[in-house]
Amino acid sequence: MNFSESVMKYKQFLIGNDQEIDQLRIDTHVESYCDWSELGGIEDVKAWFLEAQEKRALELEDISLSECRGWSLNKETGWFSHQSGEFFIIQGVRISQSNDREVGGNGWDQPILRQVGYNGGILGLLRKRINDIPYYLVEAKAEPGNPDKVQISPTLQATFSNLKMAHGGRKPLFSEFFEDTPIRNDCEILFDQWMSEDGGRLHLKKNKGMLVEVPKNMEIKIPYGFKWLTLYQIKECIKINSWVNPHVRGIISHL
């Protein structure tokens, strides 16, 4: 029985038991049951990811904050920020009335990261049916803070500062599918919600999580480092150490 037949049989079962019909939920339940991929199995995914980890040339060197190019300490505010006025700020906060915390009622002081504008960016995942089987476009993305250098990340993982190219570099790949553009109008938005971040280290920050399905007949050029995975494959990779980053987990958590 193929994927489409399995979806239909599951739907008939739910109808027969007077259950509410949610087509996306039905699809993803069946997607999670087994690996329907015709583009390679889970061992191919593991080989792709391990190769991406091995080939990434990103190197990390610990340096003093005072050596960070383009960043400086504002003597009036005491905050550390970027010369563009974009990205994030390192500031201090004082917490009080904390009787329900382990520190007690005296509270505490700490540095905290504040995203400029508070709204962080877009975390977007593309979904496409290939031979009627849903796939999700992920990237083996290198970030300086990743424990293993590379993690399986969403199609788009970019701050609004990056989308505005405040860094002076290029526009993030696939951003046109998640911003207000003509190409996005040809797609179906399956999920579009503000999602919170870690409140212990990030001050009032939110990211826009998006799941966008592109038409079956839309050709998408896939650059090196990106790969179409099934939902089953993503969930299998979640079981392996720190392979899948929290943004992918956050986007698919509603499915």
Q: What's the pLDDT at 99? A: 83
Rg of the chain (C-alpha set): 21
Which of 54, 60, 59 minimizes the C-alpha distance to 225? 54
Helices (H) and strands (E) in the chain, counts: 7, 11
Distance separating alpha carbons of residues 159 and 208, to the nearest angstrom? 10
In the block, tokens 């990779």 appear at: 237
The dotted CATH code for 39-58+118-252 is: 3.90.79.40
- CATH 3.90.79.40 domain position(s) in the chain: 39-58+118-252
Q: Determine the Cα–Cα distance for residues 35 and 147; give it in Å rounded to an integer.
A: 28
What's the CA angle centered on 157, arms 253 and 33, to 5 degrees? 30
Which pLDDT value is given to residue 59?
Answer: 87
Give me the pLDDT at residue 103, please: 76
The upper half-sphere exposure of residue 252, i.e. CA atoms within 13 Å in the direction of its Cβ, equals: 28
H or E segment and range at residue 249: helix 246-252
Q: Which 3 state secondary structure label does DSSP give 63?
A: coil
What are 167's two structure tokens? 């860094």
> What pLDDT, on a 0 to 100 scale, did the predictor assign at position 102?
81
HSE-up of residue 59 (Cα within 13 Å, Cβ side) = 3
pLDDT digit string (tens) for the chain, length 255 residues = 999 999 999 999 999 999 989 999 999 999 999 999 999 999 999 999 999 999 888 888 999 999 999 999 999 999 999 998 888 999 999 999 888 888 777 889 999 999 888 788 999 999 999 999 999 999 999 998 888 889 999 999 998 888 888 766 788 999 999 999 999 999 999 999 999 888 888 898 889 999 999 999 999 999 999 999 999 999 999 999 899 999 999 999 988
The b/e string for 10-35 (b: 16+ C-beta within 10 A; e otherwise) is ebeeeeeeeeeeeeeebbbbbbeeeb
Amino acid at 171: K
- The full length of the chain comes to 255
